[in-house]
Amino acid sequence: MRKQIIPIFLLLGLALLIVAWRQGWLPAWNLATMRAFILGFGSWAVLIYILLMAINTITIMPPTMIMMVLSGILFGPFVGSLALWTGLLLGSMGAFLIARLIAQDFISAHLGGRAAQFNERLKENGFSVVFVARLLGLPPYELVNYASGLSKIAFRDFLLASMFGSIPGAILFATTGDRLLNPDLTDPVLYALPAFVVITFIVTRTVTWLKKRQH
């Protein structure tokens, strides 16, 4: 009975968020409004950001990219990296535990074939697969979280792989956000994030193409 009730509440909560967003009851999800909203909490701003980043990692609202870049804009490269990393880790743990403990059937039905494919890779070496996925940022962050919760990977392996694999991305996004406050077109850091996205896209497409060639 619990497995049926909890997914219903999760769906209702997500539906309410979507309705509120569509009706304009929530502030526009852009860098300016979100920066003002979080900084409005004063000395609590870092904790509020971490909480929002964790919720964002679980629900995928508002756009993850905005939240990640916002860390550096708000707090600079060092504190921003730490806040982003902490929020991502807490959200990943939450999503993992939701999938494993209380909503297995619901999550499995909605992830479909992508989760099954990812689970096949997790069977061989869960830590390495999650670690590499975190480094590359692909598959999507939320897919890694929920699919891992559905798999037989140990929570300890998932946690350690997420802890260490998320560090480079957190530093990259926070540093990029910090540079956006005073952009300098000669600053190589500003081109690091776009280059990372392009390289990741190329690597992913190449791996997919090679797999198709093997079949």
Full-model pTM: 0.74
Measured in whole angstroms, how far is the alpha carbon of residue 80 from the centre of its chain? 15
Please write the tens of the pLDDT for every residue from 8-37: 555 565 566 556 555 555 555 667 788 888
**pLDDT class for 133, splitting at 50, 70, 90?**
confident
Tell me: pLDDT of 148 over 80: yes
Predicted confidence at residue 3, as pLDDT, reads 47
Q: Which amino acid is at 174?
A: A
Question: Residue 51 contacts by C-beta under 8 Å, 6 or more apart in sequence?
Answer: 87
Domain residue ranges in the chain: 2-6+20-214
* Secondary-structure breakdown of the chain: helix, strand, coil percentages, each rounded to the nearest 5: 85, 0, 15
151-203 per-position pLDDT tens digit: 888 899 999 999 998 998 898 889 888 877 766 666 666 566 666 666 666 66
Rounded Cα distance between 27 and 10, Å, is 22
Beta-carbon neighbour count of residue 80 at 10 Å? 27
Contact between 106 and 203 (Cβ < 8 Å): no
- Pick the more confident residue, 192 or 52: 52
